[in-house]
Amino acid sequence: MRYTDVAIIGGGLAGSTAAAMLGRDGVPSILIDPHQIYPFDFRVEKISGGVQLERFERTGLAQSVLRSATLDGENWIARFGYLLDKVPSQQFGIMYDALVGAIRAEMVEPAEFICDKVIGVTTSDERQKLVLANGDTISARLAVLASGLNVGLRRAVGIERRLVSACHSISIGFDLVPVGRPAFPFPAMTYFSERPSDRIPYLTLFPVGSRMRANLFTYRQADDPWLRAMRHHPVETLNAALPRLRRITGEFDVSGDIKIRPADLHVSTGYVQAGIVLVGDAFATTCPVTGTGTDKVFTDVAQLCNMHIPAWLATEGMGADKIAAFYDDPLKKACDAWSNDKAFKFRSVSIDTGLYWRLQRWTRFLAYLGDGTLRRTRKVIRPERKLRAHSSSPSSSTSSSSSLSSSA
Ligand SMILES: Cc1cc2nc3c(=O)[nH]c(=O)nc-3n(C[C@H](O)[C@H](O)[C@H](O)COP(=O)(O)OP(=O)(O)OC[C@H]3O[C@@H](n4cnc5c(N)ncnc54)[C@H](O)[C@@H]3O)c2cc1C
């Protein structure tokens, strides 16, 4: 049997981030995952700027990890074939396997990695016992369950999950390539749906290396024939759903595999248990349309590793009262509630046909249009002001007067 302070089950985004943070803080920990190198998985493919980036920064890993990502710099916002705004942007494009790989590369001793599957967990107020598929066992003061959608281990300790919304949305990922030109005119673009009946909230295009990656979202059932059409005739199907998209993109083609992934919304129940804590998707899943999954992962892991684990390890035992403090953490609770609320509001604002939501859609459209107009106006005014300031500055007046005198 191997002994450690923290055993982390699952080395996706949540588990790998926790292992890297604990190693850096000198906490003995073991990360267990069946994949030595995280395989391709259609998940989050970009980290957004603003709040999401701040949350990532709280893990202390953002700076080094994002060096291997592609920064867009500007995101065009468009709808109905019209460019509404060109927003300065800090989206970092990175495929999920590369993101997890870059985070795992930040792991240092005393954090260790074991390439295996956990097949059994027994918990108590004192020590937690993990059984691996190869027969080895690990004894830890705390088990962190970061096993994503895998339900098996949770059940073993009496944690169930409640289905909040079945097939809440479907995400479609592919590469978009320009036809007859070397590149698209935009660094990145968010194109909002043209009609609620298409059940598409938006299409986001963003660079990952030299590729223009496309994430298209839709609110449809998993057996909708539209998905088959999208898989077999993506260009025609996309043009039929977003007929004015080409005004901005120009002619395009789709290259490589098309990944289609439905997402259910789940939340765990009966999770306040001695010795074990759930983070990331293992605790609750999010709707990919809202792009809040990583907000939840980074909030969970940053709060757990920066605050709770150091406090828990400083005293004897690992009773349920200690674990409850994590689920009651105000930052975690606020992030979970915000993410869940957004999942339903985004769906309504995209496809509901009631008067309130129609007004919301137009308000959003007008807000983008207003922001874009303001930004364009500022851009025109600023250079004029600069020009005026320049011509009234002492050095420029000297040069202009000298040029006047010379011409005279
Ligand atoms: C299509 C799609 C698009 C998304 N887009 C976005 C987005 O744009 N923005 C955003 O913020 N979020 C997005 N998300 C959500 C985000 O990807 C997830 O919230 C996040 O990846 C969850 O990470 P995790 O570590 O909790 O789970 P996972 O990444 O699923 O990791 C679970 C890990 O546990 C391991 N594991 C499972 N069982 C065991 C076991 N018994 N023993 C050992 N290891 C085990 C697995 O091998 C895996 O490595 C998207 C999700 C999907 C599905």
CA dist., res. 92 & res. 44, Å (int): 11
66: which 2 tokens?
């994002």
SS3 letters for 132-173? Answer: ECCCCEEEEEEEEECCCCCCHHHHHCCCEEEEEEEEEEEEEE
How many distinct structural domains can be found in the chain? 3
DSSP states of 325-362:
HHHT-HHHHHHHHHHHHHHHHHHHHHH--SHHHHHHHH
CA of 346 relative to ligand 1 center, distance in Å: 21
245 within some domain: yes
CATH of residue 186's domain is 3.30.9.10
CA dist., res. 188 & res. 177, Å (int): 13
Nearest CA to ligand 1 atom 20: 293
Q: Please say if the pLDDT value at position 404 is more than 60.
A: no
383 within some domain: yes
Both 273 and 361 in a single domain? no
pLDDT tens readout for residues 292-309: 999 999 999 999 999 999
CATH of residue 54's domain is 3.50.50.60
Measured on CA atoms in the order 243, 247, 251, 255, is the torsion positive or negative? Answer: negative
pLDDT at 400: 34
pLDDT at 391: 64
Q: b or e along 106-116 (b: 16 or more beta carbons within 10 Å of the residue's beta carbon)?
A: bbeeebebbeb
E strands present in 270-403: 276-278
Cα 286 to chain centroid distance, Å, stands at 10
Atom of ligand 1 nearest to the CA of 42: 1
Kindly report the average pLDDT of the chain as a whole number. Answer: 93
408 within some domain: no
Atom of ligand 1 nearest to the CA of 38: 49
Alpha helices in 225-280 (DSSP H): 225-232, 234-241, 246-249
Query: pLDDT tier at 151 (50, 70, 90 boundaries)?
Result: confident
Both 286 and 374 in a single domain? no
CA dist., res. 351 & res. 88, Å (int): 28
pLDDT tens readout for residues 87-99: 999 999 999 999 9
pLDDT tens readout for residues 118-143: 999 999 999 999 999 999 999 999 99
380 within some domain: yes
Both 193 and 247 in a single domain? yes
Nearest CA to ligand 1 atom 27: 148
pLDDT tens readout for residues 343-364: 999 999 999 999 999 999 999 8
* Of the residues 216, 235, 263, the one at which a domain ends: 263
Measured on CA atoms in the order 45, 49, 55, 56, is the torsion positive or negative? Answer: positive
Q: Which of 16, 31, 33 is the best mutation target for the ligand 1 pocket, counting ligand atoms within 8 Å of the beta carbon and taking the most? A: 33
Both 138 and 282 in a single domain? yes
Q: Please say if the pLDDT value at position 114 is more than 80.
A: yes
Burial class of residue 40, CB neighbours in 10 A (0-12, 13-18, 19+)? exposed
Query: pLDDT tier at 384 (50, 70, 90 boundaries)?
Result: low
Atom of ligand 1 nearest to the CA of 173: 1
pLDDT at 386: 66
225: which 2 tokens?
């024939």
Both 346 and 375 in a single domain? no
Both 150 and 213 in a single domain? no
* Of the residues 313, 335, 351, the one at which a domain ends: 351
Nearest CA to ligand 1 atom 41: 118
pLDDT at 379: 81
90 within some domain: no
Atom of ligand 1 nearest to the CA of 259: 1
87 within some domain: no
pLDDT tens readout for residues 190-247: 999 888 999 999 999 999 999 999 999 999 999 999 999 999 999 999 999 999 999 9
Atom of ligand 1 nearest to the CA of 116: 43
The more confident residue out of 399 and 326 is 326
Both 58 and 117 in a single domain? yes
76 within some domain: no
CA of 316 relative to ligand 1 center, distance in Å: 32
pLDDT at 382: 74
8: which 2 tokens?
């982390």
CA of 282 relative to ligand 1 center, distance in Å: 9
Both 26 and 172 in a single domain? no
Nearest CA to ligand 1 atom 1: 43
Both 109 and 256 in a single domain? no
Q: How many CB atoms sit inside 10 A of residue 72's CB?
A: 23
Both 126 and 28 in a single domain? yes
The owner of tokens 């007004």 is 359
User: H or E element: which one contains 86?
Assistant: strand 82-93
> Do 27 and 116 contact (CB within 8 A), yes or no?
no
The owner of tokens 């479609």 is 172
Atom of ligand 1 nearest to the CA of 100: 29
Nearest CA to ligand 1 atom 12: 293
82 within some domain: no
CA dist., res. 201 & res. 220, Å (int): 11
Query: pLDDT tier at 53 (50, 70, 90 boundaries)?
Result: very high
Both 27 and 152 in a single domain? yes
CA of 311 relative to ligand 1 center, distance in Å: 27
Range of the domain at 217: 166-263
Query: pLDDT tier at 380 (50, 70, 90 boundaries)?
Result: confident
- Give me the mean pLDDT over the 240-256 stretch: 96
> Do 100 and 214 contact (CB within 8 A), yes or no?
no
Report if pTM > 0.85. Answer: yes
* Of the residues 201, 232, 263, the one at which a domain ends: 263
Q: How many CB atoms sit inside 10 A of residue 139's CB?
A: 14
CA of 196 relative to ligand 1 center, distance in Å: 29
Query: Ligand 1: which residues within 6 Å by Cβ?
Result: 9-15, 32-35, 42-44, 117-118, 146-148, 150, 153, 171, 261, 263, 280-282, 286, 288, 291-295, 297
Nearest CA to ligand 1 atom 46: 10
Both 251 and 130 in a single domain? no
